Every structure is written in C-alpha cells, then in structure tokens.
A = this chain, B = another copy of it.
C-alpha cells in the first residue's frame, strides 16, 4: 500500500495493479483482498494524502503576518504535490472526481483557508473579492505547471505571478474615496 503510493506518485492513476502488487511483494489477489477495486485503492491513497492539505493550512494559520500566512499555505500545498503525479491530478480534479470520504477533509481545508483569506483581505493585502474557490482555482493552475511542464517552466514562478495577481488592485485616491 505504501509501495503503491510510490507508483501512484510516478504514474498517477495509470499505475497498474500488477505492478503495484509486485512492488509490494504480494500477489494481485492480496491487493484485491484489501481493496475491492482499483478505484478503492486510489481513493484510499488520495484520501490519505489529501489529509496533508488540511494539516498544512492549519500550521500556516499560526503565521502572524496575514499575507505571509496565505502565501505559506499556497507554497506548502504546492510543495506537497511536487513530484507526485497522482497527487497533482487529485488536487487539480478535486472537485470533479467524487472521491469518497474526502468531503470532510475538504470541509476542514475550506474552513481554515477561508479564515486565512479573510484575515489577508481584512489586512488589505489581498483583493477583497478573493475566495476559497479562487484559491482552489489558482492552485489548480500552479499544479498544472508541474504536471504539464515537468522539467520545463518553474511552478514557483507561476506561484509568484499568482501571488502578485491576487493583491488588491492599485486604486487612485479618487476611486478610494468614492
């Protein structure tokens, strides 16, 4: 199972049951005795790792500086999926695939991140219409750089551009007073 994770990290959902079993040093039958279907196995691995997001966000919430807190969640989340193709796909498709049992973890993540965002908004360091949904959207974008441009474009650069992009628009005095 933990060996399956290595393969999942390398090949994503394409990872083959035979190979997973071989890597784990067991027969295919044994794998199926633990997980009724391949999907169940994938789900278990994703749920397992998805947990990390909530932990990352929770840790980041301790950061005093509001902007730094938000940037930390984003960076750490990206780092968490780095080098794990399966996890990258899981993050990007987290709302289109209905992975069983991930709902609650997602709820926790949403709650924490929403608080972090609100704090940044209140501090005026992030555009006041920035939402948790936006967070998922831009993280998906940053992850797409890892997934689709491996060894090419640098996702940290994408992150930097994004972080810059979610800052409040520059307003002149007239607009602000209006």
Shortest distance in angstroms between A173's beta carbon and chain B's nearest beta carbon? 16
Shortest distance in angstroms between A110's beta carbon and chain B's nearest beta carbon? 14
Contact, CB under 8 Å: A158 / B133: no
Q: Give residues of chain A (97-148) contacting chain B, Cβ–Cβ below 8 Å.
A: 133-134, 136-138, 140-145, 148
A interface bracket (residues with beta carbon within 8 Å of B): 20 to 34
Across the interface, A165 reaches (CB within 8 A) one of B150, B153, B162, B170, namely: B162
Residues in B neighbouring A149, C-beta threshold 8 A: 95-96, 136-137, 140
State A170–B170 Cα separation when bound (angstroms): 10
Give the copy number: 2
A169 touches B (CB below 8 Å)? yes
Across the interface, A145 reaches (CB within 8 A) one of B140, B161, B162, B165, namely: B140
A1 touches B (CB below 8 Å)? no
Contact, CB under 8 Å: A142 / B140: no
Contact, CB under 8 Å: B140 / A148: yes
State A20–B92 Cα separation when bound (angstroms): 29
12 further A-B contacts with Cβ under 8 Å, apart from A134-B161, A140-B148, A170-B170, are A95-B148, A96-B152, A137-B145, A137-B152, A137-B153, A137-B157, A138-B141, A138-B158, A140-B141, A140-B149, A144-B148, A164-B164
